[in-house]
């Protein structure tokens, strides 16, 4: 598969905490990191998602596309157990992450969420300074040496291309940043925890086109080092950045389900299912 861009040499010169973000050609040898088998999700009695089975491959960007209300966000929420916070939400089926049962009630959910980060549609910087936004989760996870915190802060801000914009005002409010900067700060905050997976719920849709482009470039650069699952309504974006794509649809006016899953190129250029073909060509949905 040739979805992967060549490693950008100029970017290799920048310093990265976490190693070069494009760490070699991923996805050539798909290795499932998350395996979802027959997942069904109910809100109260109402099914929101039925019988979804798919694999999320390590180091790849997987895009979830489909119309609103077909359960894409619910699917993401299962993967980092945010569904625990929704009363009357019932999940059944098997979800394995790194070989471990992700739905195990005894699982350390805080640890899981450290491994599987999440970025929301609307950026959620906390009403704290820029520095404190990044330090807070780090301190929570046991990193308390100021020198180490400073290093990580600088490196992750460099990773998301925010360092030069904010290095002079780390102590000022994160809420004063622009929408695009806030979203990049949130990504930096998530990266600081060295997650294995990043779940992104329409991370660009609340941003202006230029900021959206910047964030999209950033997501591209996460490929290889991180496994990214991104929900997007922007088909062109999905096509540009994803290695794999899953198409969700509301079946029988009832619950969302996965219609088709495969390599991005195949989904967009040679869809098997007629609904997929209609959706990606823009004639439905």
Partner 1 sequence: MSLSRADRQLLALLRGCALLSAVIVLLILLFLLRESWPVLRQVPLLRFVTDASWHPVDGLYQLTPMLSATLYSTLGAVLLATPLGIASAVFSRYYAPPFLAGLYRRLIELLAGIPSVVYGFWGLITLAPLIGRLHPPGVSLLTGILILTLMILPTVALTVDAALAAVPIAYVRGAAALGLSRWGLISGVALPAARSGIIAGIILAAGRAIGETMGVLMVAGNVVQQPLSLFDSVRTLTANIALEMAYATGEHRAALFVSGLALMLMVLVLVGTAELLFRERRYD
Binding site for partner 1 (CB under 8 A): 80, 82, 85, 109-114, 117-118, 120, 122, 124, 126-129, 136-137, 139-141, 173-175, 186, 189-190, 193
Q: What is the closest distance, in whole angstroms, from the C-beta atom of residue 82 to partner 1 in the complex?
A: 7
Q: What is the closest distance, in whole angstroms, from the C-beta atom of residue 203 to partner 1 in the complex?
A: 13
Instruction: Compare residues 58 and 113 and give the one whose CB is closer to partner 1.
Output: 113
Q: What is the closest distance, in whole angstroms, from the C-beta atom of residue 285 to partner 1 in the complex?
A: 27
Instruction: Compare residues 118 and 259 and give the one whose CB is closer to partner 1.
Output: 118
Q: What tokens appear for 108 in the block?
A: 């350390």
Q: What is the closest distance, in whole angstroms, from the C-beta atom of residue 172 to partner 1 in the complex?
A: 9
Instruction: Compare residues 201 and 260 and give the one whose CB is closer to partner 1.
Output: 201
Instruction: Compare residues 67 and 137 and give the one whose CB is closer to partner 1.
Output: 137
Q: What is the closest distance, in whole angstroms, from the C-beta atom of residue 98 to partner 1 in the complex?
A: 16
Q: What is the closest distance, in whole angstroms, from the C-beta atom of residue 80 to partner 1 in the complex?
A: 6
Q: Label each residue of the chain as H, E or C.
A: CCCCCCCCHHHHCCCCCCCCCECCCCCCCCCEEEEEEEEEEEECCEEEEEEEEEEEECCCEEEEECCCCCCHHHHHHHHCCHHHHCCCEEEEEEEEECCEECCCCCCCHHHHHHHEEEECCCCCCCCCEHHHHHHHHHHHCCCCCHHHHHHHHHHHHHHCCCHHHHHHHCCCEHHHCCHHHHHHHHHHHHHCCCCCEEEEECCCCCCCHHHHHHHHHHHHHHEECEEEEEECCCHHHHHHHCCEEEEEEEECCCEEEEEEEEEHHHHHHCCCCHHHHHHHCCCCC
Q: What is the largest CA-CA distance in the chain?
A: 57
Instruction: Compare residues 95 and 280 and give the one whose CB is closer to partner 1.
Output: 95
Q: Cα–Cα distance between 173 and 132 in angstroms, integer?
A: 9
Q: Which of 82, 187, 177, 181 is nearest to 134 (CA)?
A: 187
Residues 25, 3 contacting (CB under 8 angstroms): no
Q: How many CA atoms lie within 13 A of 151 on its CB side?
A: 10
Instruction: Compare residues 11 and 132 and give the one whose CB is closer to partner 1.
Output: 132
Q: What is the closest distance, in whole angstroms, from the C-beta atom of residue 4 to partner 1 in the complex?
A: 28
Instruction: Compare residues 52 and 134 and give the one whose CB is closer to partner 1.
Output: 134
Q: What is the closest distance, in whole angstroms, from the C-beta atom of residue 126 to partner 1 in the complex?
A: 5
Instruction: Compare residues 134 and 255 and give the one whose CB is closer to partner 1.
Output: 134
């Amino acid at each position: 598969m040739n979805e992967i861009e060549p490693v950008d040499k100029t970017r290799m010169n920048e310093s990265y905490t976490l190693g070069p973000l494009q760490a070699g050609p991923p996805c050539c040898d798909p290795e499932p990191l998350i395996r979802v088998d027959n997942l069904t999700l109910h809100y109260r009695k109402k099914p929101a998602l039925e019988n979804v089975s798919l694999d999320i491959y390590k180091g790849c960007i997987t895009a979830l596309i489909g119309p609103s209300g077909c359960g894409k966000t619910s699917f993401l929420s299962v993967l980092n157990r945010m569904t625990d916070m929704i009363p009357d939400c019932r999940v059944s089926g098997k979800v394995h992450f790194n070989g471990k049962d992700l739905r195990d009630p005894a699982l350390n959910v805080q640890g899981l969420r450290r491994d599987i980060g999440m970025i929301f549609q609307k950026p959620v910087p906390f009403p704290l300074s820029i520095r404190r936004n990044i330090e807070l989760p780090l301190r929570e996870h046991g990193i308390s040496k100021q020198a180490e915190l400073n290093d990580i802060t600088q490196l992750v801000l460099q990773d998301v291309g925010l360092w030069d914009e904010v290095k002079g005002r780390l102590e000022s409010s994160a809420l004063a940043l622009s929408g695009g900067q806030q979203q990049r700060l949130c990504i930096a905050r998530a990266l600081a925890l060295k997650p294995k997976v990043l779940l992104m719920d329409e991370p660009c849709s609340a941003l202006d086109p230029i900021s959206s482009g910047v964030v999209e470039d950033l997501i591209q650069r996460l490929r290889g080092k991180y496994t990214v699952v991104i929900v997007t309504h922007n088909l062109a974006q999905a096509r540009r950045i994803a290695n794999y794509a899953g198409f969700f649809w509301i079946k029988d006016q009832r619950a969302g389900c996965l219609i088709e899953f495969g390599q991005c190129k195949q989904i967009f250029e040679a869809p098997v299912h007629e609904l997929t073909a209609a959706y990606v060509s823009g004639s439905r949905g």
